[in-house]
Amino acid sequence: MKIIAFTKMMRQADEDGLIRIAHNAKVEGLDLCVREGYPVNPDNADAEMPRLVRRLEKEGIPVPMVTGEGVWRDAADPSSQRILSGMARSGVRLYKLGYYYYRPGVDGAYWDFVDRVRRGLEGWSKLGERFGVKVCYHTHCDIPGLALGQYMGTNCAALMHLLKDMDPARVGAYIGTGNLVVSGEPFEYGIEMVGKYLSIVELQDVYLERIDNGDQGMHRRHWTTAGQGAGAWSTIFDTLVRRHFDGPLTMHAEFEVPAGESFENVLTREMAYFTSHRARAMRPGRDN
């Protein structure tokens, strides 16, 4: 159960910068963001990923997972094969897929759309099997007013509409702690639903503020540093230890850095916070 850092927020860092951040924050690995505009991207992943992963591993920084584009790309897209080929050559076994978006009243019946997503996942499952990679779908809360629609698989209950009866050795569940807070699903309840599909857990804190929206209310999300939001971290880590979870815990660190602070310093505190909760949950003699 290694605690790693998502490199999405390190877009401006070169390779030396990634290594420095990882060492300074004492993270236990990196969740490599492979997107347009990043050093490793969908166009060069088959060649650049193995080279970068080898260098990171020499520095004691493993890469247990890769995160792809936010928008769904079909398994048949040439970039999909390049990414998974690069992962196979790098020894990285977990891949976070992009999202399907659903617009109620526009994109047809919900259950027909579920069937469409499942067909897409089946295509990725076959490609992943070819390269020895498990593909994982992430729970993502709704975003009000998002033109693309709303995320399919917004919480564990909805995610299981997509994954149920698929092979858990080839298709996994990637659970977002902060996203479950927003969607109102208790972590320990959701984990029971995904069961054997649980493969990756995102560590991210958030709290909600009610605001007026015309003649109705809505909430504003405040993505914040660990321990400052509504994340039930003792319960989360106790649940993971009780289930003997051994996959990566990836820190998203998508918060606003306080004035006068550096991202690296705040990430270091995030790592220390989560490490302390893991150590408490794993302490011998604790009844989880």
Annotate 52-88 with three-state secondary structure.
HHHHHHHCCCCCCEEECCCECCCCCCHHHHHHHHHHH
Cβ neighbours, 10 Å, residue 11: 11
Tell me, what DSSP letter sits at residue 266? Answer: H
Q: What is the pTM of this model?
A: 0.95
Strands 101-102 and 150-151 come out as antiparallel
Provide the CATH number for the domain formed by 3-282 in this structure: 3.20.20.150
Return the half-sphere exposure (C-beta side, CA atoms, 13 A cut-off) of residue 266.
19
Cβ neighbour number for residue 65 with a 10 Å cutoff: 26
Residue 287 pLDDT: 62
**Could you list the pLDDT tens digit for every one of the 288 residues in the chain?**
999 999 999 988 999 999 999 999 999 999 999 999 999 999 999 999 999 999 999 999 999 999 999 999 999 999 999 999 999 999 999 999 999 999 999 999 999 999 999 999 999 999 999 999 999 999 999 888 888 899 999 999 999 999 999 999 999 999 999 999 999 999 999 999 999 999 999 999 999 998 888 888 888 899 999 999 999 999 999 999 999 999 999 999 998 888 888 999 999 999 999 999 999 999 987 665
Please give the Cα distance from 109 to 111 (Å, whole number).
Answer: 6
Q: Where are the domains of the chain?
A: 3-282
Question: What CA–CA distance (Å, rounded) separates 40 from 34?
Answer: 5
Looking at residue 257, its pLDDT comes to 87
Q: pLDDT value at position 212?
A: 86
Phi and psi dihedrals of 218, rounded to 5? -155, 175
DSSP 138-185: E-----TT-TT-EESS-SHHHHHHHHTTS-TTTEEEEEEHHHHHHHT-
Q: What does the H/E/C string look like for 185-241?
A: CCHHHHHHHHHHHEEEEEECEEEEEEEEECCEEEEEEEEECCCCCCCCHHHHHHHHH
> Residue 288 has what pLDDT?
57
pLDDT at 159: 98
Say what the pLDDT of residue 216 is: 83
Cβ contacts of 103 within 8 Å, gap of 6 or more: 148, 149, 150
- Residue (of 198, 162, 163, 202) closest to 180 by Cα position: 202
